[in-house]
Structures are given as C-alpha cells and as structure tokens.
Amino acid sequence: MKTAVLVAVNVCLVITSALAVDRSKFRTCQQTSFCRRHREGHSRRLYEYELVPDSVHFHGLRHEKESEQKDASDVEDSQAKDSKESVWSSLSRRLLGKDGVDNDGVDNGGGDVKDSFRGTPATLTGKIVNTAKDTSSGSKEELEWSLHAMMDGILRMRITEKYGVPGSAHQNPRVTYDELVLNETDEWKESGFAEWVKPTKEAAAQSDALLKRLAGMVEPNADPSNYMALHYGDGEIDSATGNILLIRVKPFSVWLFREANIEAGPAVVLNSDSMMSFEVRRFKDAPEPEADESEEDGDEAEEEEGETPEKEIVGYWEDGLAIYADGTREEKKTESEEEEGEEEDHRKLAEEDSMEGLDRQGLWEEKFDSHEDSKPYGPMSVGMDISFPQCSHLFGIPEHASSTVLKATSGEGAHYKEPYRLYNLDVFEYELDEVMALYGAVPLVVSQSTETETTGVFWFNPTETFVDVTQSQESSSTHWMSESGIVDVFFMPGPDPAAVYGQYAKLTGTTPLPPMFSLAYHQCRWNYKDEKDVYHVHEKFEELDYPYDVLWLDIEHTDGKRYFTWDEKLFPNPAEMQEKLWSEGRRMVTIIDPHIKRDDGYAIHKEASAKGLYIKKKDGQIDYDGWCWPGSSSYLDFTQEKVRHWWAEQFGYSKYGGSTPSLFTWNDMNEPSVFNGPEVSMQKDLKNLNGDEHREWHNIYGMLFHRATGEGQVMRNPEKNIRPFVLSRSFFAGSQRYGSIWTGDNTAEWSHLEIAAPMLLSLNVAALSFVGADVGGFFGNPDAELFTRWMQAGAYQPFFRGHAHHDSKRREPWMFDGTTLNRLRHAAMARYALLPMWYTVFHEAEVTGMPVMRAMWMQYPRAQMLYPVDDQYLIGSDLLVRPVTKQGATEVEVLFPSKDLWYEADSLVLASSEKPDEGGVVSKVIPTSMDSIPVYQRGGSVIPRKLRLRRSTHMMKLDPYTLYVALDRESKATGTLYMDDEETFDYKSEGQYAIASFSVDLAGKSATFSNVVELGKGWSSSIDELATSRMVERVVIAGLAKRPGAVTLEGQILSFNYDEETKVVVIRKPAVSAMKSWTMLFS
C-alpha cells in the first residue's frame, strides 16, 4: 500500500514539474543590469535633481494668446525668446515639435533634431539639473522639462535629455513612439485655463498664500519660496473645479491636488522619495574588446566550462529548449540550480556594493544565458517613484497571473520578492501568483481610495519596465524603472472611475464596437485536422441545437506553416468550406503569426525580402533569422507604415487564396516569440528599418502587428465598410483600438479557472475590454465538473472561446455525458440571450472608455470592502457575476453592494434588499448547483434579452426582445438598448443606428414605462420598415409590490400575469418596437 502511495506521489510531482515554467529562460531584476542598479536606491547617490527657477517659462494656452495682454513678466519672457540660446527657442523645437519638427515628428528643415511628439503644446517648461557630486555620466547633466495642461484635467509631464548639442552623445533625440501609441491629435485639446503660480515678495500676494498652504501640507516647515505651481482646468479660473500641480524646486518633486478637494491632500506625488533617475547618454570611456566574429548575435549556444560537448541542434520548441539531432531535448534547469544562480548574483552585487557602492556590470554589454546584448549606446535607463497618499489599493500594469489588486514587492511584509515586470514574452506554461512578465504590457496604474478617490497614472514608455510596489496603511508607492526612452507621465485626476477612463480614452482611444458575431461563442482547437473534421464539428453543433458562431483553425491548416496558404491535402477547398459554414450563419478564423518562413519558394517571404521589409541584425543590414514554428524565420518590421500597409494588402482576396469575407484572423506569437532567442524573444540590439534598436519598440511590436492585420481585413473589401475581428495574444496601451485579447496558454486546472477573472479584470483596468481566457484550459484535460464551471464562467467574460492543445483529449461539448452536455448548452444559451446587453455595453465602452468587465469598485468606489475583490465582477453597471471556481463547491460567498437592490438574473427573485448605504456591502452565502452560477441584476436597471433559441447570431438578427426590468427601492428603473446592423461601419459613417432609452417609474398614480429613441440620421428615413425587425415581445418587471389594475399602450389593454410570491409581472406581446418611442401606463 505504501508503495502505491509513493508511486502516486511521484506521478503528481512529475506532472507538476512538467506543467511549470522554465525559470532559467527568463530574467529576474537581479539578472537585469538597469533594474539591479536602481532598485531599492542602489544608485540613488548619483541622482539629485533640482529645477532651475530662472529657466521656467510659462507659455499660456494657444487659444488665449490672441487676447493676452503683456505685463512686465511677458516683456521679460519676450526678451528671453530673443536670446540666441533661450530656453523657449530650444524647447519649442525639441519638445513641442516646432521650428523643425511638427507634431508627427516630420523634419521641416529646422535642423537634424526629430522628436516624434504628439499632443498639445507645453504650458510650462524649464530645465532640471543633476546636482549630485558624482553623476552617472561623470559630468554635469541637464534635462529639459515640460508640463502640458489638457482638457478634462489631464496633465502631461515630459523629461528628456538636452538634445541638439553638437558632438554630444545625445545630439539626436531618444526614440519615442507617440504617433504609434497615442490617440489621434483631434482628441487632444488644451485645458480651458492655466496659470503659473510663483512666489513673490508681496506681503499679501495670493500666490504666496496658496504656495504656503500647499507646501505646508506636504512638507513640515516648508519654505514657500522653494515652490511654484501650475493651476489649470476646464471651467472658470475661479470656479474651484480645476487641479493644482505643486512643484518643489529643490529637490525636484511634484504633487497633484484636486482643487475641489484640497483638504484631502494630494492624489499623486512624483519623486517624493528622490528615486528619479535619468541615465544620460555618453560615449564609452574606452573601447571594449570586439566580440568573436564567428558568433552571430548570440544565436548559437556557447560551450561552458564543465559541460559536455554540444549536440547538433535541429530545432527549438516553444519553451525555448533545443531539439537535438539524436531525438533528445534540452533539459530545463531544476529549481535548485535556478536558486543557486540567483544566490551567486546576489553575492556578486554585495561584493560590488561593498567595494564602491555602485553596480557597474552590464553598462555597455550584457549577457544572459548564452545570449549577448552589445548595448552600443550604453546605459539609458530612466526611473521615478510615484506615490498615492492615503491609498492602499492600486490596480493595473498587466499582464501578470496574479490578483487584480497589486501586492507589495518591496518593503516590510512584501508579498513578492521581485518587482512587476512589463516585457512582452511567450512564457510557456506560466505559473500563478507571479509577477513574471507575460504576453502583454500596459504601464497604467489606477489608485482607488475613499479619501483621494480615483486617480490614474500612465507611464508612457514601451521599453522593458520593472515596477516595485510598496504599501503601508497610509499610502502606496510605486517605483518605475525602464531600460530606455524618456520620462513621459500622464496624470488622470479622475475623481471617479468613469472620469479616469474618459481621460485615458483621450490618450489611447477606446474599444471600437465589435461585430455581433464576435461576442458569441467560438470553437477552437489545435488543430481541426481537415475539412472532414471541420464539417463533422459543425454538423454536430447543428444536430444538438448548440449555439456557436465561429470555428477556428490553428497552424496545421497551412502549407508547412506558411501563412496565407492552405495544406492542399487537408483543406483542398477552403473557400467552399467557408461558404458552407456561412450559409448556415457561421464564420471561420485562421491563425496568422508574424514569423515568416525563410523559403524562396514562398511568395510572402520572397516579396518581403525583395522589398527589404524585415527586421535587421544589429549591423542594420542583414535580415534577422530566428526560429519559430516554421523553423528558420524572419520578422517584418511593423513599426514602419509601409510594412503595415504591405501586410494589410496580403489579406486581399486575390492574394490570400481560399479566403472569403466570412474568414477572420487570429494573431499569435506576436510578443514576438523566437524559440532560440533570449527569453524566447528577439535580441535587444536588433534594428528596425529606421535603425532603432529592438529594445526601444519591443512592447509595441505585437500591437502594431495586430493593427496591421485589422487594417488588412478592412482593406480587403471594396467599400472598406466591414468591421474586422482579430484576436491577439500580445498587447500594449492602445491595443483596445484594434481587437480582442486573450490570456494565452492556460491550463485545465481549477487554479487557472480561479485566476481567469482576476487576470481579465486587470486587463479591463487597463481599458482592454474585449478580453477572455480560453474555456477549459489550453493544456491538459478538464473533467466534466471543471469544464462545466469554466463554460459557465466563460459565458460571462467579454471574449468567449473554447480552445485546447493538440495533446489534449477532444473536448467538444458532446464528448461529455448527456447531463453535462445540457449544462454546457444552457451556459451557451445564457450568453446568446444576453447578447443585446453585451452589445449595448460595448457601445458604451466605445463612447465613454469605461471597461465592459468591471471590478466592483469601478461601480461602487465608496465601498472600500469591495476594493480587493476579484472573484466576482460586473458586466457594465447592471449584471453581477460570481463564477464558481472551487472543485465540489455547493455554495459561494457573494458580496452585494447595499447601495442597490439585487435580483437573481433569470428568475428575478429578490436576492438582497438591505438598508441603502453608499459604501455598504452585504455578504451572503449562496447555494450553488451544477446547473448554473450566481448572476444578479441590479435593482433600477432594464436589461434587454433575446430568448428564442437560435444556433448563431446571424439567425437571431431579426428576433424580438424581452426586457427584464428590476425595480429599485423607489420602484424606478432605467436602461438602454443599442441597435445597428451589427457588422458594418455604417453606424459611424452613415448614422445608421438607434438607441432606445427606457425609463420606468411605477411609484405614483401616473405609473409609466416609457421608451425614448435616439435615431441616427441614416435610419430616420426607413424607420417604419426597420421598426418591424426590432420588436419587443415581452416585458418582465420585478419588484412590483402589488398587482397592477391594468396596463395599456396607446389605448390598447395589454395582457399580463402577476406572481404574488415573487412580485414579478410579465407583459406578453405588447406589439411595440424598440425603435419607436412609446409609453405604457400602469393603473
């Protein structure tokens, strides 16, 4: 018996080891020189910054300048402008894109300086100097500083080197990517007013009184003359609705106050801990020995002392481990080996610190594993501490397999030893409760507090970034450390979640309304083998009346991993196959990855090579050659518009043979993943076609690939009027503009189901709304219980797809027993019934920027108990979802915000009716069966549904609506229903849409349920025809205290049923359109 137990334990250990990330492939902060230098203040003595008061210049606002009257200070400013080396003349060129560079970074003949700045002009500018005795460069360091006051309270702070100095290492600007990441400039407007508050010598000066008051709040016994401020906002200057940025001259720090809530203290603080660092570029003191010419970018593994002779490598797997000619595979390092290596790193650092207090390793070249980074420009990192006083809950900076609320990585009681890392990577079999980098990165953090309310900070830097989090009961602090780039920080002062997301939308855009089919269920597997397999799966869904909209094909559908091709033996008639599925309302998706097989007989490669579209080796001349699914591969440079356009052209029906309008796209491996590269990605010293190093644009590569693919789907149709659908694994800030995202290669384990909601909520915190986790887990084999619970949870996540690895057993719904099949079908049907609500919430997201899948605090910012909650969430404002994520669970805890009533979503039975409290929360233990998960509708809402069982969204298009009304404590409710053609851009370009706004008031004698319709101009002329296809067939109202005497509509008496026990009334066949205004009367 003991032997049997021992065997079982050993098997479990093997499985655990097999399904675990190979940590030796991925760097820690200790193994990353710039992070190691700056973490926990190791190099703090090299950086002591102060603002030079005499350099500060107030530029006012562009829209005010014509009416400005010049006073004495203006005269002084104009004299400064006339100076040959004036601050303004240099900054206007270097920071504001003028006199040589416009807002898109185009050289207009004013010099060689090109800074790709996009945005509003600077409001305040000046010079920051490093006064440390020993600087990182060994010489005097000057930085240029600007503040840009924008509409809606947004404030931008930008710090760069002093560009344009002939012969200096920083003669040319650092690489920035405003035009590739930030929103179109027509969304950017200056603030309504701005004034520079500076100290004076006048006894009764209001400016001195303000500075004294604010300075005294942030520093005991502060000297007001060491401070200045920028007061800005959208209303009247004396309306007390603006914001104030308090600026300390020496040492340099800034505090952002909301004018309406000054007494609460600052919402955000920068550099209060003096952790700002800016490694100014310099020339290398002495030439280093040249690398061995026989080595090519570190692609080939070096033989280390004590190792056995190298075997012949014939390939690589996705985990980055080599495949040898003898059929064996490279073994991953054990945990003890990894720990031993980390201990050695710590030892070396300790020795260096003891000798000179500084860590100089990795400044000019750096090695990890067998790969070398030549770092020709030397150390270029930037960093800053950003604090949130009176706030103990921070969110954002995805993607990590961890809780939605950020946990401490530094300081006493830290949950993690490593900082959160932002560096897009293909992490094979990622582990949970980790801060390791994953597939995407969004450097946005949002703070939530009852005292300082909601605030957002966007650290706009696409290079590798580490973020330390330190927490106390009084405040939370973050330390941002980026490998290169500039300091470019956007403040979003809120003060509530809706305001923060409106502000962030101005900067990076919103999620465009997806086509309706993409919100339905997607069926995927690596791989459906051939056309026969595709038809079998499709016909089985048909046979079982199981709704689905899209069938997916993975990499095996291609001719030898050559994208835009088909395996002619397995898929001889791809267009016919797509047309067959489309005839029954289904679409298809094929995978297209960024790695291009290096094969001269492959048209895509041949043309890309001939046109010079590939990323180059570090010499900037030779096409980079890395290893991915096809073997030897090259990678297109999607940072270039001409390359993105060329890629988009490949989706044309004449070029992508076998494609049809019902075929859409899946972008995978776009971190980019390179099996034989450092950390399973590209070397950092590779070059794009502009000669910029990969380290500068690594984190935006996947987003630009995603963007180009979406543009291709639009371009392929003559009218360019069909909305695209593209799924991507990799992302950055702004990816919400281009399509959907999923959480990558999860595992069929309960822990991965449990982490799905926190990960998806974290993505929504970063404004990525169209997101999902693969139902069932990619790796492994879920049993019936796990798969059922995952399908039930997946039905309430924005992107809803089932997916599986090729080694996993087939797990289509019919592969389980009959009872399980019925439960799975019921979960899918629940999703389809709520599609009108999903579509409406996505429309709201496009208009307002508010996330679709919301953490509870986003809707209830005063309920502090809900801040850390990530095992339940809201869809929009009205649907509360609590997935069941524990094996064998028969009950779950649900936290109900007591501000509102809550009804069970399907039966509309009242579930929570506690005393109203703005910040109150009620905990209830809810019994759960295997048939469903707890879902609740908020009292005071109207949710539209479609209840007729159909097998796809295409077949549901003309079906009537059922309106579910949940009354609040005052017997009132409101809601909206958004309608358009569900697939084209006509809702934008032609005004072909309608928005029904429902308002219910059943409290008084004149009880009514009314609909007021906003009709787009494109539909106004055909309203009568369209109205018949948008009918309401049923109204269900919950919370009605007593049976109504009668219900009438336009003089017609309507039939209804009333349930005395549940207090639910059902009005059947009101014969009214959702597209026309009307009023029901209750008596």
Q: pLDDT value at position 236?
A: 86
pLDDT, tens digit, for every residue of 446-493?
Answer: 999 999 999 999 999 999 999 999 998 889 999 999 999 999 999 999
Q: pLDDT value at position 235?
A: 85
pLDDT > 70 in the chain, percent: 87
Contact 741, 771 (CB under 8 A): yes
Least trusted range by pLDDT, from 301-315, 350-364, 906-920:
301-315
CA distances from 136 to 286, 500, 655 (A): 16, 37, 53
Is omega for the bond preceding 758 within 30 degrees of 0, making it cis? no
Is omega for the bond preceding 263 within 30 degrees of 0, making it cis? no
Q: Is 878 helix (H, G, I), strand (E, B) or coil?
A: coil
Q: pLDDT value at position 219?
A: 94
pTM of the predicted structure, to 2 decimals: 0.91
Distance CA 395, CA 300 (A): 40
pLDDT, tens digit, for every residue of 513-544?
Answer: 999 999 999 999 999 999 999 999 999 999 99
pLDDT, tens digit, for every residue of 831-880?
Answer: 999 999 999 999 999 999 999 999 999 999 999 999 999 999 999 999 99
pLDDT, tens digit, for every residue of 266-318?
Answer: 999 999 999 999 999 988 863 333 333 333 343 433 333 444 456 777 677 66
Distance CA 492, CA 495 (A): 8
Sequence-ordered alpha helix ranges (H) in 555-693: 574-583, 603-611, 641-649
Distance CA 752, CA 326 (A): 35
pLDDT over 50 (residue 18): no
Residue type, 375: K
Q: Is 611 helix (H, G, I), strand (E, B) or coil?
A: helix
pLDDT over 70 (residue 690): yes
Average predicted confidence (pLDDT) for the chain? 89
Least trusted range by pLDDT, from 317-321, 463-467, 800-804:
317-321
Nearest CA-CA partner of 105 in 113, 114, 96: 114
1031: DSSP letter: E
For residues 926-934, give the mean pLDDT.
Answer: 98
Contact 1036, 964 (CB under 8 A): yes
Q: pLDDT value at position 340?
A: 54
For residues 5-16, give the mean pLDDT.
Answer: 32
Work out the burial of residue 169: count CB atoms within 10 Å of its CB; fewer than 13 is exposed, 13-18 middle, 19 or more buried: middle
Which active-site residues does the annotation give?
Answer: 668, 671, 745
Query: What residues form DSSP beta bridges with 422?
Result: 465
For residues 694-712, give the mean pLDDT.
Answer: 98
**Per-position DSSP letters for 460-522, written without gaps between them:** ---S-EEEEEEE-SSEEEEEEEESSS-EEEEEE--SSHHHHHHHHHHHH---PPPPGGGGSEE
pLDDT, tens digit, for every residue of 335-346?
Answer: 555 555 554 554
pLDDT over 70 (residue 65): no
Q: pLDDT value at position 359?
A: 82
1015-1018: long-range contacts, CB 8 A cutoff, minimum separation 24: 1015/1075, 1016/980, 1016/987, 1016/990, 1016/991, 1016/992, 1017/990, 1017/991, 1018/986, 1018/990, 1018/991, 1018/992, 1018/993
Q: Which two tokens stand for residue 487?
A: 């300091």
Distance CA 704, CA 176 (A): 15
CA distances from 789 to 276, 284, 587, 748, 934 (A): 47, 59, 26, 11, 11
**Per-position DSSP letters for 276-318, written without gaps between them:** -EE------SSPPPPPPTT--TT-SPPPPTTPPPPPPEEEE-T
348 phi, psi to nearest 5 deg: -60, -45
Region for 990 from its dihedrals, namely left if φ exceeds 0, alpha if ψ lies in -120 to 50, beta otherwise = alpha
pLDDT, tens digit, for every residue of 432-447?
Answer: 999 999 999 999 999 9
pLDDT over 80 (residue 747): yes
pLDDT over 50 (residue 355): no
Contact 841, 758 (CB under 8 A): no
pLDDT over 90 (residue 82): no
Distance CA 429, CA 318 (A): 10
Q: How confident is the model at residue 631 (pLDDT cuts 50, 70, 90)?
A: very high
Q: pLDDT value at position 473?
A: 80
pLDDT over 50 (residue 75): no
Q: pLDDT value at position 725?
A: 98
811: DSSP letter: -
Query: What residues form DSSP beta bridges with 726?
Result: 665
Q: pLDDT value at position 294?
A: 36
Contact 368, 27 (CB under 8 A): yes
For residues 603-611, give the mean pLDDT.
Answer: 98
Q: Which two tokens stand for residue 67?
A: 């009416």
Q: Which helix (H) or strand (E) holds 715?
A: helix 694-715
Give the contacts of 921 (CB within 8 A, at least 6 positions apart): 863, 865, 866, 895, 896, 897, 898
CA distances from 191 to 155, 244, 262, 483, 832 (A): 9, 13, 20, 32, 44
List strands edge to edge, sheet with 740-742. Answer: 771-772, 740-742, 726-728, 663-667, 587-591, 550-553, 521-523, 800-802
Q: Which helix (H) or strand (E) holds 758?
A: helix 750-765
Q: Which helix (H) or strand (E) holds 141?
A: strand 141-149
Q: pLDDT value at position 102?
A: 37
pLDDT, tens digit, for every residue of 1015-1027?
Answer: 999 999 889 999 9
pLDDT > 90 in the chain, percent: 80
pLDDT, tens digit, for every residue of 566-577?
Answer: 999 999 999 999
Q: pLDDT value at position 561?
A: 98
Nearest CA-CA partner of 995 in 839, 887, 872, 852: 839
Contact 246, 219 (CB under 8 A): no
Helix 750-765, helix 784-794: angle, nearest 10? 10
Between CA 48 and CA 55, with CA 50 as vertex, the angle to 5 degrees is: 150
pLDDT over 80 (residue 347): no
Tell me the chain's radius of gyration from C-alpha atoms: 30
CB atoms under 10 Å from CB of 415, counted, come to: 14
For residues 344-373, give the mean pLDDT.
Answer: 71
Q: How confident is the model at residue 188 (pLDDT cuts 50, 70, 90)?
A: confident
Distance CA 247, CA 255 (A): 7
Q: Which two tokens stand for residue 513?
A: 């309304």
pLDDT, tens digit, for every residue of 214-249?
Answer: 999 999 999 999 999 999 999 888 888 899 999 999
332: DSSP letter: P
pLDDT over 70 (residue 106): no
